Amino acid sequence: MQNKPQLTVVKIGGNVIDNPDALKAFLADFALVEGYKILVHGGGKIATKTAEGLGITAVFHEGRRITDKPMLDVAVMTYAGLINKDITAQLQSLGNNAIGFTGADGNLILSEKRKNAAVDFGFVGDVISVADELLKVLLLQNIVPVFCAVTHDGKGQLLNTNADTIAAELAVACSAHFDVKLLYCFEKKGVLTDVENEDSVIKNLTFENYQELREQGAIHSGMLPKLENCFNALNRGVTSIGIGSPEMIKGGSDYTLITP
């Protein structure tokens, strides 16, 4: 059986996106990652700041953004426009032939408006499918896809979609063709048992450990959806998953390795 080529899917978010110097340093490291790769980014704080400048108040429910029509417009402008094209241009300057995408481009990520939720989150999408064959063709042409947190429903409606979920769904879909490593990079060193202690990194987190720590309340609530995505992706074909600081992609720091 022929070995599958290596693919690295990296999701970057948190304060790294908001800090131009940190983003520049991360992209310089990402540009050096060998093999096929995909970058997925968020940008919620920039979207909130942009909305405020336009007189639009960002509304959240339990940490999740409510996306009404004005907020969707802001999300598309900032995610698919400002942030995505800035990242794409920087990667081009670093020798990576990057192309920026929403899920609507090439019908790469099809979603549906979230339903049956206790709260109406507005124009928020849940991923239905990924066009893995087209993505494979792009990757084999040495294109570096850069995905923002915007998808579509196939009926002309753009949808704000969680970037962590997009990264996981891309990784799962591509595992049919590649040996996929999924990395979640943010401002912390990894999954912490104490959010006040940067050195309380859990080096290896299995599903059994995760369940125990969750029941004990030892994992910060904001990390729970990310970890659910991780274990779901592992069960659906992704080879390995890491969570940590941006230095993780060059092996320069401790991080949390997620295993089944």
Report the 10 Å Cβ neighbour count for 100: 23
Nearest to 237 by CA among 191, 169, 188, 162: 169
CA dist 71 and 123 (Å) reads 9
Measured from the Cβ of residue 146, the count of other Cβ atoms closer than 10 Å reads 24
Q: List strands edge to edge, sheet with 98-101.
A: 98-101, 144-147, 36-41, 6-12, 179-185, 240-244, 255-258, 204-205
Q: Can you name the residues that pair with 124 across neighbouring β-strands? A: 160
Give the CA-trace dihedral at 226, 228, 233, 239, to 10 degrees. 80
Find the length of the chain: 260
Residue 156, annotated ligand binder? no
Residues pairing with 180 in the sheet: 7
Distance of CA 77 to the CA centre of its chain: 18
User: In whole angstroms, what is the distance from residue 156 CA to residue 148 CA?
Assistant: 18
Q: Is 55 annotated in some ligand binding site? A: no
Report CA dihedral (25, 169, 42, 47) to the nearest 10 degrees. 170
Alpha-carbon distance of 24 to 26, in angstroms, equals: 5
Report CA torsion sign: 38, 43, 44, 45.
Answer: positive
Tell whether residue 43 is among the known ligand binding residues: yes
Find tokens 């900032």 and name the residue: 78
Binding site annotation covers 236?
Answer: no
Feature table: binding site: 43-44, 65, 160
Feature table: binding site for substrate: 43-44, 65, 160
